Homo-oligomer: A and B are copies of this chain.
């Protein structure tokens, strides 16, 4: 048996999310079915994060155990071939030790959230960015975002369906950058609560529109109450970018 670690890129639009669902396509099922087609084995694929419906992956990390002797490169090529035309691609495949776990060994996760701050309807990127018509002050958003960086009780920014034991998380980075009519919000932490990034982005958009001050954002955080949330951003603009692990053998090439 060999444990393989994959770096997976996927367009979340046609999927119910990462996780296998009874009804509807999922990224997990797409990869598991591909492994079955290639190896004849029914295996479980575990990921660093279980993204929601409509959320995308640029560098999701996942692993699976395979009995069939096969070289990582051959496995990657075969999986990519059989997954067509589903918008899922294996960017990297390496052998890892049997105690390495895509989810439990992960020590850092990063996301980017993309906003198109424009009036015109989207053409190329329907479902791939959040279009916000009101002009957003990205500098004010970035300044306010620093209120959320650090160790906090993020109950306000947590979905009612969140299964995390604790609402206390340490947010390492929350940066807002504008490039023309595009705004990118970069978030990094060891782990996130369910809906945390989208909830933080929604509140930053309130700041960007001038409807909230940084103090309003701080008050929402300190309320530790989901009802204090300003706005939950749609899944469209959210991308899982990268999972970090200790040790060089699990470094991705992406």
Contact = CB atoms under 8 A, between A and B. Distances in A.
A141 B90 CA distance: 28
A32 interface: no
B122 A89 contact: yes
Interface in A64-89: 80, 83-85, 87-89
Dominant secondary structure of chain A at its interface with chain B = loop
A22 interface: no
B90 A124 contact: no
A180 to B, nearest CB: 9
A126 interface: yes
State the copy count for this chain: 2
B121 A89 contact: yes
A124 to B, nearest CB: 5
A91 interface: yes
Contact of A123 (B89, B121, B122, B123): B89
A128 B56 CA distance: 18
A123 B10 contact: yes
A33 interface: no
A9 interface: yes
Interface centre among A56, A122, A123, A126 (most CB of B within 10 A): A123
A228 to B, nearest CB: 35
A11 B90 contact: no
Nearest to A122: B89
A1 interface: no
A124 B128 contact: yes
A227 interface: no
Contacts of A88: 123
A248 interface: no
Contacts of A160: none
Interface string A115-129: 000101111101010
Given A9-B120, A11-B123, A91-B118, 8 more contacts: A9-B124, A80-B120, A80-B121, A85-B126, A87-B123, A89-B121, A90-B120, A91-B120
18 contacts: A9-B120, A10-B123, A11-B123, A11-B124, A80-B120, A80-B121, A83-B121, A84-B121, A85-B126, A87-B123, A87-B126, A88-B123, A89-B120, A89-B121, A89-B122, A90-B120, A91-B118, A124-B128
